Amino acid sequence: MITDPLFYALALPAILIAGISKGGFGGGLVVMAVPLMALVVSPQQAAAVMLPILMLMDVAAVWAYRRTWAKNLLVFLLPAAVLGVAAGWASFGLLDANLVRLLLGIIAVTFTLDYWFRSSVRTGPVKIPDRLWGGMWAMVSGFTSFVAHAGGPPLNVYMLPKGLEKRLFVGTMAMFFAGANLLKLVPYAMLGQFHTANLMTSLVLAPLAPAGVWLGLWMQSRVSDRAFYKVCYTLLFLTGLKLGYDGAVGVFNLFNGA
């Protein structure tokens, strides 16, 4: 089991924030858990510790939104996520996680700035069939979710513009990531990520999972749809800045031999 007190000082708020996001308030804040924990342990170990906790959160979120999700979206989003998870599995240990964080940060910040500052006169919707457009982002989401549990920002690029009713949006996201996390279980095990130290650490931190989800549900039910989307875009932007900064520093250090 991990014994460093600093790890737990960072892991406790990270898991609560992730639970709040899973509960429907906080958009892509799950993405911040691994980077925070990776300040003390390796990103791979942080991701391994988080996966059982995320799956426990998924149980609570899926139960809460079991009657409110868009089946017509998940029938093509989840199969695309399988491809992304497979790509993450194949490239595990080869692709530097900091580069992934940097690319995610660029995607999240660019998309949010476009939403905030775009002209009121649009040239029209994306000239790509909806299923192809959504499948592409779901595949990217599956990949980044496998690498660092950072699948939220890519999928938000597809999901947020749809303007779904709040509970329908959150429920669909909850079902998607419950499926994606389940897909990651076997590859993580085969890569040796679930050794005793990681599993014991996950067990110690597990009680925070339902507490965070409950807090997110409580907050989500008291925020209007309009305010909810404002919060989602703002948090997506802040998450993008955090990811981009961490990724840029990591890539810089990598190329400079630090």
- 3-state SS string for the chain: CCCCHHHHHHHHHHHHHHHHHHCCCCCCHHHHHHHHHCCCCCHHHHHHHHHHHHHHHHHHHHHHCCCCCCHHHHHHHHHHHHHHHHHHHHCCCCCCHHHHHHHHHHHHHHHHHHHHHCCCCCCCCCCCCHHHHHHHHHHHHHHHHHHHCCCHHHHHHHHHHHCCCHHHHHHHHHHHHHHHHHHHHHHHHHCCCCCHHHHHHHHHHCCHHHHHHHHHHHHHCCCCHHHHHHHHHHHHHHHHHHHHHHHHHHHHHHHCCC
- Among 31-35, 89-93, 146-150, the minimum mean pLDDT is found in 31-35
Residue 189: pLDDT above 60? Answer: yes
Q: Which string of b and e fits 41-62 if b means at least 16 CB within 10 Å? A: bebbbbbbbbbbbbbbbbebbb
Percent of the chain with pLDDT over 90: 42
The more confidently predicted of residues 67 and 232 is 67
Rounded Cα–Cα distance for residues 47 and 198 (Å) = 10
Mean of per-residue pLDDT scores for the chain: 86
Q: Report whether 241 contacts 109 (CB < 8 A).
A: yes
pLDDT of residue 163: 85
The top-scoring range by mean pLDDT among 15-24, 65-74, 97-106 is 65-74
pLDDT of residue 168: 93
- Among 43-52, 73-82, 108-117, 193-202, the minimum mean pLDDT is found in 108-117
Binning pLDDT at 50, 70 and 90, where does residue 105 land?
Answer: confident
pLDDT of residue 28: 67
- Among 21-25, 77-81, 114-118, 198-202, the minimum mean pLDDT is found in 114-118
> What crossing angle do the helices spanning 152-159 and 130-148 adopt, rounded to 10°?
160
pLDDT of residue 120: 46
pLDDT of residue 123: 46
pLDDT of residue 49: 95
Residue 206: pLDDT above 60? Answer: yes
pTM reported for the whole predicted model:
0.82
The more confidently predicted of residues 55 and 116 is 55
Rounded Cα–Cα distance for residues 74 and 159 (Å) = 11
